[in-house]
Amino acid sequence: MFGELRHEVSNELFVGTSARRAGWSHDWQSGWSHLPGKNQVKVVPFSWQATVSDVPLDIAQVADAHTGSCSTYRMNSRTITTSPLDLPPAIATEDAVILYEVSDPDNPEWSNDEVFYGYASVDGYTVAVLGMNGKEFEQEFTEFFTKAVLKVRDR
């Protein structure tokens, strides 16, 4: 059951999203996207990485770690700022958070790096979605994260 749920969230939600035009990545965290030694049915795009785990995650602690005293910091020649975004109504009552991180370079000729993080704890499962697209994809990321949370909740 759990392995099937991971595959469904990781693979089926990409239909109709910009993720299909993105590059590709291998499993970025052991034990999250598939069981050790197994290959996924489909390769997961790196610009939208959805994973489900049966490892508990304290969502409030994750949100605080990103938005508390570390909400703005410097790394190399970049200023990195993270802020929480509003949850959509469909998952507003879930134990979840969506975070938006911008890495702003000191050099004005360099572009910003923008990352979305979505974390949810649903019925003993942790849902994590990483989006490597810019702010113009916020609505699409939010919809994708919502679908992942609802898929786990309504299984």
| CA–CA gap between residue 75 and residue 21 (Å, rounded) | 30
* pLDDT confidence of residue 83: 93
Tens digits of residue pLDDT in 122-146:
999 999 998 887 788 888 899 989 9
| CA–CA gap between residue 138 and residue 46 (Å, rounded) | 16
Domain of residue 142: give its range. Answer: 2-153
DSSP state of 24: B
> How many domains are contained in the chain?
1
| CA–CA gap between residue 44 and residue 61 (Å, rounded) | 27
* pLDDT confidence of residue 104: 83
Q: What b/e string do you get for 4-17 counting C-beta neighbours within 10 Å, with b at 16 or more?
A: ebbbbbbbebbeeb
Q: Residue 117: which pLDDT band, with cuts at 50, 70 and 90?
A: very high
Tens digits of residue pLDDT in 40-97:
454 444 467 888 998 889 999 999 999 988 889 888 888 889 999 999 999 999 999 9
pTM for the predicted model, two decimal places: 0.71
| CA–CA gap between residue 84 and residue 28 (Å, rounded) | 23
* pLDDT confidence of residue 76: 82
> Taking the alpha carbons of 24, 28, 34, 36 in that order, is the dihedral positive or negative?
positive
Residue 70 carries which side chain, given as an amino acid letter? Answer: C
Compare 16 and 8 and report the one with higher pLDDT: 8
Q: Residue 106: which pLDDT band, with cuts at 50, 70 and 90?
A: confident
